[in-house]
Amino acid sequence: MVAFLGMGLLGSNFVKAMLKKGEQVNVWNRTASRAQALVEFGAKAFDNVSDAVKGAERIHIVVKDDAAVNEVLAAASAGFAPGVTIIDHTTTSAAGAIERTEKWAALGYTYLHAPVFMGPPNALESTGTMLVSGNQEVIAKWQPALEKMTGKVINFGTRVDKAAGMKLTGNLFLIGMTAAVADTLALVKALDIPVSDVSALFETWNPVAMVPARIKKITSNTFDQPSWELNMSRKDAGLMIAEAKKGNTKLMIIPTIAAEMDSRIAEGLGNQDWTVIAKDSVGKL
């Protein structure tokens, strides 16, 4: 039997998928009605979190943050079976993953942080990507069960906090990419270009494919070998800002980037590759 704590959109769909595969699942949520909603699909709902975990072979949890994970697990611990494994899918801090791994090990339990890159539809369809790191024996034991939940499990090795760090890294990229998309749509609105044309452009030209080369460029410190000079990229950023202003639209991130460009140009770096704007924050890794 499996216990699942946290019946938000992700957790509830994980549970529905488990039930379809024939697993017995006890569920709990702070708002009890969300757990009760899973009863019709075959889950057993509990009002008390410590009752929900009694007899569970493994306990899954996905809640808001470090504080919520700590609070829920502390309340549930009265019902833990000896040696039970806790698998946490919450996006948390790297330090929190380390602290919980050490804390629950000292108490005789196994804690594995396993954050995911997937939305509610993926959880229902058992597709997506799960990240793990830490004790390799623990990961080997539970990886088959985790693969049934997501289809893909990426193991980042023995460092306990690596999965947490990689999840934050991926989410940072998603946030930045979404902001860039928002600025792109604002600019084409100002220029009276149909969104369908933008979609067609990115179906043919995929800038995400440039990411590995861009990482290599930024971390190599070879800014004196420009493929796009900072002066020229700043000129283009100025055109973007001017067109957006003319079209009464707002850009979120380009003005901030332009200000950083101005700072670097003032340092005399205008003829360097434009990626020199990242030199102090990243440097050579």
CA dihedral (156, 139, 86, 104) positive or negative: negative
- Adjacency order of strands within the sheet including 116-117: 116-117, 128-132, 151-155
Q: How far is CA 93 from CA 10, 40, 64, 100, in A?
A: 19, 35, 12, 11
Same fold flag, 2-160 and 166-278: no
Per-position b or e across 199-230, b if 16+ CB within 10 A of its CB? eeeeeeeeeeeeeeeeeebbeeeebeebeebb
- For residue 57, the tally of other CB atoms under 10 A from its CB is 13
- Contact (CB, 8 A) for 35 and 46: yes
Per-position b or e across 1-27, b if 16+ CB within 10 A of its CB? ebbbbbbeebbbbbbbbbbeeebebbb
Rounded (5°) CA angle 69-72-78: 130
Which pair of structure tokens corresponds to residue 143?
């990886």
**Cβ contacts of 55 within 8 Å, gap of 6 or more:** 1, 81
Which pair of structure tokens corresponds to residue 52?
């929900």
> Whole-angstrom Cα distance, residue 223 to residue 86?
46
CA dihedral (110, 115, 119, 125) positive or negative: negative
Domain ranges of the chain: 2-160, 166-278
Closest CA to 6 of 25, 41, 22, 30: 30
In CATH, the number for domain 2-160 is 3.40.50.720
> Whole-angstrom Cα distance, residue 113 to residue 26?
20
pTM across the whole model: 0.92
> Whole-angstrom Cα distance, residue 253 to residue 243?
15
Q: Which residue has the tokens 């088959």?
A: 144
pLDDT score of 221 = 84
pLDDT (tens, 9 = 90+) of the chain, 285 residues, equals 999 999 999 999 999 999 999 999 999 999 999 999 999 999 999 999 999 999 999 999 999 999 999 999 999 999 999 999 999 999 999 999 999 999 999 999 999 999 999 999 999 999 999 999 999 999 999 999 999 999 999 999 999 999 999 999 999 999 999 999 999 999 999 999 999 999 999 999 999 899 999 999 898 888 999 999 999 999 999 999 999 999 999 999 999 999 999 999 999 999 999 999 998 877 554
pLDDT score of 285 = 46
pLDDT score of 283 = 56
Strand 128-132 and strand 151-155: pairing? parallel
CATH superfamily of 166-278: N-(1-d-carboxylethyl)-l-norvaline Dehydrogenase; domain 2 (1.10.1040.10)
Task: Give 58's strand partners.
Answer: 2, 85
Task: Give 3's strand partners.
Answer: 26, 59
The size of the chain, in residues, is 285
| Phi/psi at 74 (5° precision) | -60, -40
